[in-house]
Amino acid sequence: MATLRLSALRKTYPNGFTALHGADLEIADGELIVVVGPSGCGKSTLLRMLAGLESISDGELVIDDRRVNDLEPAQRDIAMVFQNYALYPHMSVADNMAYALKNRGIPKAERRRKVEETARLIGLEDLLDRRPKQLSGGQRQRVAMGRAIVREPRVFLFDEPLSNLDAKLRVQMRLEIRRLQKRLGVTAVYVTHDQVEAMTLADRLVVMNGGRIEQVGTPMHLYERPASRFVAGFIGSPAMNFLGARLDARRAGDTLTLPCGTRLAAPLPASATAGEAPVCLGIRPEHLTVVPEVDVIDGDLSVRVELVEPLGADTLVHARLEGQDDLVVARVDGIRAVAEGDRLALRPDAGRLHLFAPDTGRRLD
């Protein structure tokens, strides 16, 4: 069990490239933190620094009140589960799992007991005599987890552990990881570029962009109140729609005007000053509904359908705003009788609009 504190943690590689620009984060005991962000944003660098596999250029890493910046990986009492499993091919599952215990000088009988107990916990009992090449991808991943669990580390680190598995198995394994992590009560940091995986696993999410932490919060908080356009576009699937708009703070009621002339009754951000200002309007696809022609009111968006994607439970409608070039995606319930070329009205949920500054991308509220 452990708490972690990262203070102004920075990584500059020997070639002078700074991959992490001063990260601050506190991780509570037993918490599952998921670090998410696009390729190259510094997720793996951060994780490897926690593990001790990458040196810390500046700042401080504290585990349970102890500064560990200069501790070797083995001394940090952290177990890492990798994407490629990193199993020893010539050893049986049982020996793979017992390896770290053997290195620690734990007697054979106790090793055996711990390995069997862990194998039961994660459903590996019948596979203990096999070698890694005799296992499926999912089973190998399970062994990699078992090997980490058996060590009873204070912290678990996961580096995209599910990316080599097929979609169905990924869903199953991520539920299992979540269940196990809570059952063991172990603190964990999990890196992925898959935002759905991130949303479903995390107690709190850390969204990274270009070597910086953009926002930290519960999945729902990030979904409902993204602090920046970047976070807004990254969390949620399909991604949020962004439209250029004008904020007219002098009016009561109609406060947002789109270039096509549509005016939306949007809650005015407190930071808005009198006058007109360009803003970036964000609308999630699931917050647009198709409105029958007879019910169309001011503020509904007139669109022409360009593509329809029926997904079964719902349908994605890709459409272009009339009088303006922007494309929007709407996620509507069920199978819709909508066809390419149709003209439709889409109604944004006025209570769930997001406004961002067009220059900095920061949320306006």
Closest contact distance (angstroms) between CB of 57 and ligand ATP is: 12
Q: Residue 88, interface with ligand ATP (CB under 6 A)? A: no
Closest contact distance (angstroms) between CB of 24 and ligand ATP is: 18
Close Cβ partners of 47 (under 8 Å, ≥ 6 residues apart): 35, 80, 157, 159, 189, 191
Closest contact distance (angstroms) between CB of 15 and ligand ATP is: 5
Closest contact distance (angstroms) between CB of 153 and ligand ATP is: 21
CB-wise, 34 or 115, nearer to ligand ATP? 34
Binding segment toward ligand ATP, per CB under 6 A, in 15-23, 60-68, 131-139, 321-329: 15-23
Rounded to the nearest 10°, the torsion over CA 318, 321, 327, 332 is: -30
CB-wise, 37 or 132, nearer to ligand ATP? 37
Show contacts with ligand ATP in window 325-344 (CB under 6 A): none
Q: Residue 17, interface with ligand ATP (CB under 6 A)? A: yes
- For residues 51 and 77, give the distance between their C-alpha atoms in angstroms, rounded to a whole number: 9
Q: How far apart are the first and last CA of the chain?
A: 38
Q: Residue 273, interface with ligand ATP (CB under 6 A)? A: no
Binding string, 120-159, against ligand ATP, x = CB under 6 A? ----------------------------------------
Q: Residue 13, interface with ligand ATP (CB under 6 A)? A: yes
Q: Which two tokens stand for residue 144?
A: 């990699």
Closest contact distance (angstroms) between CB of 44 and ligand ATP is: 3
Show contacts with ligand ATP in window 160-199 (CB under 6 A): 193
Give the three-class secondary structure for 359: coil
Closest contact distance (angstroms) between CB of 154 and ligand ATP is: 23
Q: Cα 71 vs. chain centroid, distance in angstroms?
A: 29
- For residues 32 and 183, give the distance between their C-alpha atoms in angstroms, rounded to a whole number: 12
Q: Which one, of 14, 8, 177, lies nearest residue 81 by Cα?
A: 177
Give the three-class secondary structure for 168: helix
Show contacts with ligand ATP in window 21-80 (CB under 6 A): 37, 39-45
Sign of the torsion formed by the C-alpha atoms of 313, 205, 27 and 97: positive
- For residues 54 and 175, give the distance between their C-alpha atoms in angstroms, rounded to a whole number: 30
How many of the chain's residues bind ligand ATP (CB under 6 A)? Answer: 13
Binding site residues, ligand ATP, CB under 6 A: 13, 15, 17, 19, 37, 39-45, 193
